[in-house]
Structure 1
Amino acid sequence: MALELRVINTIEAVDADAWDACAAGHPFVQHAFLKALETSGALGADRGVLPRHILLMDATHGLVACAPAMLKWGTLREYGPEVHWLRAGLDAGFFKWPKFQVGVPFFPVTGRKLLVRRGFAETPLRAALIKGLLQLGQRAEQQSVLNILHIDNATARLCQGQGALVAGERHSMWTNTGFNDWADYVAQLHKRKRYQLHKERRQAEAHGLAFRVLKSFELTDEILTDYYEGHRRVCERYGGTPWLPAPIYEAIARLMPLDALLMGYFDGARFVAGNLQLCAAAEQTLYILQASEMTKLDSMQLDLICYRPIEYALEHGIGKLDSGLVAKHKQHRGWQSAPVYHAHWFFNDELKALAQQHLN
């Protein structure tokens, strides 16, 4: 198959249906989500991230494979092992911005990154995407590395076969291993964890708030404004600031009306605490995003992050939950730790040797 490699600087330069035929229902690489990042101001030169999406076209100019890619520079807000070799490379003078990477900007979510249109052979086209990415990376003199972030084991093995140095980290996951419902799940917990669950649920419900699950199209401007403010307060509580601008959540709600939902506690119509989630129906997976809490309340976030998503998943036939980076409070409440991988190709031998010390 004769293939043409193209690079686009905005997701709007490619037909949404053609791109989504490759995305296979994964919400974070859908055309609408990438468009939400662009139109909300989350991406841009002032944000240190510029889209450089990769397209593979066949002889009829149809899209057969693609990858969400970007040029990134000026920030060490990285996930997992990347931050260590980045910092060392900058200090030693072996690494200079920008960094060429494939993944979802600002979201450390596991899933498809080398996307192939349904009905086409995946392995050769994913290999062709890697080859094209490497050619682009090597062609640009200022780029010293190519990363593909947050991939599964099969993709990591494919990348390793193409000369990548593979490293990993662990994320918090929950998988339904045969539970019929919430009561069935709670009954099988160790008595200590079962006691802890009941205690923390009582504490969360003692605040007298109503728990609700809202779809994207039910989210008003007022709720989204309060959600962002609550997220800002959570970040501030731990000495940080939000990574994303406020309009991103309105853009997700508007562009993805059936893919996003908000689990939260409300005082009447007023939002108090919750988290936004994206659903991958084809994968039966729910992805849990940033926590938000207008006022710190006992056990509220533990209930919203650790328990409510599992209960919702069991009620709606969702088999898997992904809450991103691993954390002890999740592991202590029934969540598992699962490996996630990153692939690296270094175009600078000195940087490669330095990175190997950290990645190994």
Structure 2
Amino acid sequence: MSETAIEIEAVSAIAQIGPRDWDACACPEAAQGRPDDPFTTYRFLKALEDSGSVGRGTGWEPHYLVARRAGEVIGVAPLYAKSHSQGEYIFDHSWAHAFERAGGRYYPKLQIAVPHTPATGRRLLVRRGHEIEAQSALVQGAVQLAASNDLSSLHITFCTEDEAAAGKAMGLMPRASQQFHWGNAGYADFDGFLASLSARKRKNIRKERAQAAQFGGQIHMLTGDQIRPEHWDAFWTFYQDTGARKWGTPYLTRGFFDEAQAHLRDDILLVLAERDGRFIAGALNFIGADALYGRYWGCIEDHACLHFELCYYRAIDFAIAQGLGRVEAGAQGDHKLARGYLPVKTHSLHWIGEAGFARAVAQFLGEEARAVDQDIEVLTDYGPFRKTHHDNDKENQ
């Protein structure tokens, strides 16, 4: 074997790679501050693993990919064998049903993703100076792993636009989806943001914030050492309720929030509403270098507009105060549009081993991409911003 050959290995525990090598690939920028996002850091993925939120019996079985050249780790990827399509937010249930109706076996499949996390970020994590060859090796290794084990497919979800272009050039099928993000146009405060909206939308948001303030308590915005174990006890109750209603069972275990307290609290903004001495609602956000990522919400009491206040408006307040460029409000939700969150395109990549089925999926993806583009254009035009604001944005794009 030549010294320039790249070796690919799949390992079942992230500890077999270690924090130094993993983070050198996943978040080298963190040496100067925060990672671009916390979701592919060693500490986040290990928290999922150590808490039992991924692993045996969860449908997310880790097989982390490692690319080495002459013994040096030059690339890694969070790869999982999936026995279902839950917790992905890029829906392929119709593909699974069609594949199995035709007599195939869709599961298990392989997924390069951050479990339970619909946030765009790098998925092919490569050490600086090895971008092209390590990225290619990780894709080839993942495809070969799927093919040699006679698995139906490989999926890389919520990858970056650059990764989507590179994957397409390597023969993977790109897929477009959409989310709603809030963008910070250098606002000095929340009123500065409101001034960019049409009068009707501005009035509606002020009304919603006023209604939310009438719930009869206090709102706490906690991060770092301000977050205490009792806050997680409360939030776990909220999260269980939301998880049971949306997914049947919560994706994360109670242990994940203990791991978050121990290892992730500096990455977290926890917004809690307290009334009559007890917490009644909360929103969990993660903090990146230039973005706030809204993840989970839950409550044990219903109060008008409190969801909008905790999840959307307090997130905007925090982003403005911290000088962050955007708030990513998670998957789906056209209702976010009226609250200043505009549609943006998200990306994924797909490989399907069966040639005939792959052709059918490719045709579907082409039609879907055109529909997503049209939807984004229409929704943006219906957005809450004053037309002059949009015209200026378009000129600056």
Normalised to the residue count of structure 2, the TM-score between the two structures is 0.84
Residue number among 161, 166, 174 corresponding to 1:153 in the alignment: 161
Is this contact kept in 1: 2:227–2:265, CA < 8 A? no
CA–CA separation in structure 2 for the residues paired with 1:18 and 1:269 = 45
Residue number among 280, 298, 303 corresponding to 2:304 in the alignment: 298
2:67 equivalent in structure 1: 56
Residue number among 7, 19, 29 corresponding to 1:4 in the alignment: 7
2:333 equivalent in structure 1: 327
> Relative to 1, partners in 2 of residues 1:31 and 1:219: Cα closer, same or farther, differing over 3 Å?
same
1:256 equivalent in structure 2: 264
Measured after TM superposition, the shift of residue 359 of structure 1 is 2.9
Residues 266-294 of structure 1 deviation map (CA, whole Å, 9 limit, x = unaligned):
2366322121111112xx11111111112
Residue number among 310, 317, 323 corresponding to 1:311 in the alignment: 317
Unaligned runs of 5+ in 1: none
1:31 equivalent in structure 2: 42
Is this contact kept in 2: 1:95–1:351, CA < 8 A? no
Counterpart of 2:171, as a letter, is: G
CA–CA separation in structure 1 for the residues paired with 2:5 and 2:211 = 62
Residues 62-115 of structure 1 deviation map (CA, whole Å, 9 limit, x = unaligned):
211111111010455542342221222123222332111101112121111011
Residue number among 163, 167, 182 corresponding to 2:171 in the alignment: 163
- Which one has more relative contact order, counting CA pairs under 8 Å at least 6 apart? 1
2:148 equivalent in structure 1: 139
SS of structure 1 residue aligned to 2:107? coil
Is this contact kept in 1: 2:87–2:115, CA < 8 A? no
Matched residue count: 355
> Relative to 1, partners in 2 of residues 1:310 and 1:341: Cα closer, same or farther, differing over 3 Å?
same
Residue number among 45, 48, 52 corresponding to 2:56 in the alignment: 45
SS of structure 2 residue aligned to 1:80? coil
CA–CA separation in structure 2 for the residues paired with 1:334 and 1:21 = 36
> Relative to 1, partners in 2 of residues 1:165 and 1:48: Cα closer, same or farther, differing over 3 Å?
same
CA–CA separation in structure 1 for the residues paired with 2:364 and 2:257 = 35
Q: Which runs of 4+ in 1 moved over 6 A?
A: none
Residue number among 345, 356, 372 corresponding to 1:339 in the alignment: 345
Q: 317-326 or 46-55, which moves further after superposition?
A: 317-326
Find out whether 1:247 has 2:255 as its counterpart: yes
Residues 40-76 of structure 1 deviation map (CA, whole Å, 9 limit, x = unaligned):
11112211111001111121x2211111111010455
Q: 183-192 or 242-251, which moves further after superposition?
A: 242-251
Matches within 5 A, 1:38-117: 38-59=49-70, 61-75=71-85, 78-117=88-127
1:210 equivalent in structure 2: 218
SS of structure 1 residue aligned to 2:195? helix
Measured after TM superposition, the shift of residue 36 of structure 1 is 0.7
Residues 129-182 of structure 1 deviation map (CA, whole Å, 9 limit, x = unaligned):
2122222222212x1211111112211111100001111110111111232322
Is this contact kept in 2: 1:88–1:354, CA < 8 A? no
SS of structure 1 residue aligned to 2:362? helix
Is this contact kept in 1: 2:267–2:286, CA < 8 A? yes
CA–CA separation in structure 2 for the residues paired with 1:298 and 1:222 = 26
